[in-house]
Structure 1
Amino acid sequence: MLALVPALFGLEPPTGRAAGLVVLTVGLWATGVVPEFVTALVFFTLAMLARIAPPDVIFAGFQSTAWWLVFGGLVVGVAVTRTGLGERLARTLVDALASSYPRLIAGVVAISGGIAFLMPSTMGRVVLLLPIVLALADRVGFVAGRRGRTAMVLAAAFGTYMIPAAILPANVPNMVMAGTVETVFGVTLTYGGYLWLHMPVTGLLKGVVLVALLCRLFPDRPDPAAGERERRPLSAAERRLAAILVVTLGFWTTDFLHGISPAWVGLTAALVCLMPVSGLVPAAEFSRSVNFASLIYVAGVLGMAALVTHSGLGAVLSAGLLAVIPLEPGADALNFASLTGAAAALGVISTMPGLPAILSPLAGELAGATGWPLVTVIMTQVVGFSVVFFPYQVPPLVVALQLGNVRVAEALRLSIPLALVTLAVLTPLNFLWWRLTGWIP
């Protein structure tokens, strides 16, 4: 395949081999023929065997701050699970809202999104929340097959991805984008600026739409005769971890003041959790519970982004993209719709974790075509990868559906209307917010 691509598309051999490898890698990630981390290893191996790029390009992902942010998030996630602090927070808050169906669904969505401030790992949040949500469903009478049970699972699944799209270190696509633009353009995204731009519409309003659709599409009525909540006091480990998380969150939200990258803040939190004196994540627990497959996967995505730029493939793709989508300096509304629509369409093919790796290296040419600042063009991706038509586009959604025993057909009843509302209503509102805040000059 790597040898045929140059002849088929008239590319120079180095660029053609890179294109073939990118098509193969994205295709494997999109179809899920093999696990994502295995695909990343295929990418590393073929890239080195075919001498497509130097090792510092292929393995650039391991040097990225995004990779270290994922690492820190995974370690903190293990601590949150092991101490029981995450379960305590989620159970307490959701139980308090279980007196009515809309409040129950809104509570699950709020916890699923809000816990992203404490646990920057989508897969970790899914694994943590789904057992709690299912237990709560049983306690309010939502047995298997009830619409309310399906709605609660979908609220947790979609809430833990959709709302955290507005929180920089909380989703893989966010971090892949941050790492890619830092690798390619030397641009470092700040936690506070990212949150201010995306949370009002992509986060909060998207959450409101999600709750409204769930209550409309899956109506039900809970039985308030739930069991009493556990009232055990905070353990010493929970208190220590809570203090670490408060300090970490404080540094994350004020990075525009002190200039320390969110990655190094997260790595510091992880190191404190791993120190024997903390008693939070022993060495054996680290080896057993940290998802190293996710780390290899993220490194593969970031390495592919570096390869796209190094090989010249980014210039070829940008020329093709510019020829297809309408972009024009001064036509701000059209430009915004074109960029977000292109990102949403590419996400169907590449899946959301791979989308920033493909689109981010093109930001320079796209900025020139629109007349916008580079960082504004980069940020339009977030609106695009918050549009999810099919669950396979976001691997943690697939895991959540499996854990919750919810059929894909039921998930599609929510995902497709939610995607359409996002494009038709929330995207124009995003444009107005960006214009109001000066991101679109």
Structure 2
Amino acid sequence: MGKYKREIGFVLGLILLLIIWFMPTPAGLKVEGQRCLALSLMAVCWWAFGVAQSGFVALILLLGFVLGKVAPPEKVFSLWTSPLIYLVIGGYLIAAAVQTSGLGRRIALNFILRFANSYTNVIISAYFIGVLLSLLIPHPFPRAFLLMSVMAFVIKEAKLPPKDAASIGLAVFAGSAANSMVLLTGDSILNVAAVGFSGQTLSWLGWLLYMGIPGILATIVMCITHLLVFKPSTTFELEKDKIKEQLRAMGPMNINEKRTLFWIIVAICLWATDSLHHIHPGWVAMGIAGILSLPRLGDVLKPADWGQVNMGVLFFLTSALAIGTVGGYSGMNQWIASVILPAHPPTNPFVFGLLVVVVTIAIHMILGSALAVMGIVAPALVGYAVTAGWNPLVPALLVYTCVGIHWILPFHLMNILVGVGEAGGGYGDAEVVRLGLPLTVGVIIIAMFEIVWWQIVGLM
């Protein structure tokens, strides 16, 4: 099957499309909702089988929504009139500035120099330095690859065997998923999508209030699980003089590092006070990215750095959110909720939370793509929860938690998938499964804690 995986997925997706498109319309579902379901399942199938680059599949789905008269273009492409998409674009550009200026590497090297005294400390550093870096780089992938470049040096100098090297690499990429939960700008794609699916507005500090503590807990739970599952196979010895040499070679902070740091501090201050000045974090991110490209004020970002903005990811995000938006417009979301969920939402918050977790994880295990699962499940659960009087953010953030930190196989989580192999974190499927299985219990614990925490802070 592996040899013809793309071809099989392509045909299977078309079969799903044709069967659902032309079958008799189910009771309670409009024709537009039926077409939305057909196109959505085709796209999800193509994403899962890697039929084409995710951005190309996204374009086909968006085009299908418009040409199939499922929804008007302004509904299908509504994300591009929202500041959320510009938080993603600004996040990519700020990440490019942190990397090209050398600021991110300097911070990572200094952190490792002070805390990498043992195998345990290296694993802990891999998980928690991402929280610090998320203040500077609003996207987990560049954070993970930047940190991995430093960890690769540590692995080499400590002469660690492949088994321990793979464990450290997995800690870097798995940690990027957990610590992305802490800040709204920790993952400028998945976090933005979670807020978008709720249909609510949430400030930078609001996200920190609701998700900061659960994000720290998720990082701790994942880190402890990692240390229990992966024991060191040899003594860890690191000559820190080599790290000091690298820092000396970098010299004092250059002008680009200082400018980048200054404007990121400005961005953080504006993000933290958005409830006062009402400037959306997306506009702040784009404004800071623009300033970083201006002479004298910034001059850090160059024209070539626009290439860091991944258009495929932008269209993928657009299509994933469109599944939710168009699904609500066409009636698909309400129909899905009526089919897979009990007739009446549980009134007990913990029972409701457990229902969301079980449904989300089950669908995530089948479909794989976090955004695609959020696009189908979150809108359906939001509408379902509102009938019971729950805040729409509750189901949206629970779904986000499940798809954001849970996996069994690499394709279940992009943060894990991008690090597979020697070009990434040096780990393979076996290590991923070994950590992912026990973390399933951890995800349930974190979700139940979120219910308690949200009751304390007034979200529920």
Both structures adopt the same fold (TM-score exceeding 0.5)? yes
Aligned-pair CA distance for 1:8: 5.2
Query: Which residue matches 1:356?
Result: 374
Distance 1:315 1:228 in 2: 56
CA contact (8 A) 2:345 2:352 kept: yes
Unpaired stretches in structure 2, ≥5 consecutive residues: 1-15
Cα 1:300–1:427 shift into 2, 3 Å: closer
The answer to whether the aligner puts 1:313 opposite 2:332 as a matched pair is yes
Identical amino acids, percent of aligned pairs: 22
Distance 1:156 1:289 in 2: 21
Aligned-pair CA distance for 1:32: 2.3
Aligned-pair CA distance for 1:343: 2.4
CA contact (8 A) 1:95 1:136 kept: no
CA contact (8 A) 1:112 1:160 kept: yes
Query: Which residue matches 1:114?
Result: 132
2:224 counterpart (202, 209, 212): 212
Matches within 5 A, 1:223-302: 223-226=237-240, 227-229=242-244, 230-231=247-248, 232-277=251-296, 278-286=298-306, 288-302=307-321
The answer to whether the aligner puts 1:394 opposite 2:409 as a matched pair is no
CA contact (8 A) 1:335 1:370 kept: no
Query: Which residue matches 1:410?
Result: 431
CA shift digits 1:213-252 (9 cap, x unpaired): 2222222231132424213100000000000111111111
Distance 1:8 1:134 in 2: 57
Distance 1:179 1:36 in 2: 20
Q: After the TM superposition, list the runs of 4 or more consecutive aligned residues in structure 1 that deviate by more than 6 angstroms.
A: none
CA shift digits 1:339-371 (9 cap, x unpaired): 233223232234212232223322443224433
Deviates more, 1:386-395 or 1:54-63: 386-395
1:341 counterpart (337, 342, 358): 358
- Root mean square deviation of aligned Cα: 2.1
The answer to whether the aligner puts 1:426 opposite 2:440 as a matched pair is no
Cα 1:349–1:190 shift into 2, 3 Å: farther
SS at match of 2:70: coil
Distance 2:317 2:332 in 1: 20
CA contact (8 A) 1:391 1:415 kept: no
CA shift digits 1:169-206 (9 cap, x unpaired): 3222211122333xxx3x211211211222213x2122
Query: Which residue matches 1:193?
Result: 206
Distance 2:305 2:392 in 1: 42
CA contact (8 A) 2:83 2:282 kept: yes
Deviates more, 1:376-385 or 1:63-72: 376-385
**Residue identity matched to 2:210:** L
CA shift digits 1:86-113 (9 cap, x unpaired): 1111121022111122222111111123
CA contact (8 A) 1:180 1:360 kept: yes
Aligned-pair CA distance for 1:153: 0.6
Distance 1:74 1:126 in 2: 14
TM-score (ref. length: structure 1)? 0.91
CA contact (8 A) 1:191 1:262 kept: yes
Aligned-pair CA distance for 1:118: 1.3
Deviates more, 1:166-175 or 1:189-198: 166-175
1:162 counterpart (178, 196, 206): 178
Deviates more, 1:389-398 or 1:149-158: 389-398
Unpaired stretches in structure 1, ≥5 consecutive residues: none
Query: Which residue matches 2:167?
Result: 151
**Residue identity matched to 1:262:** P
Distance 2:192 2:407 in 1: 18
Aligned-pair CA distance for 1:142: 1.6
Query: Which residue matches 1:46?
Result: 64
**Residue identity matched to 1:207:** T
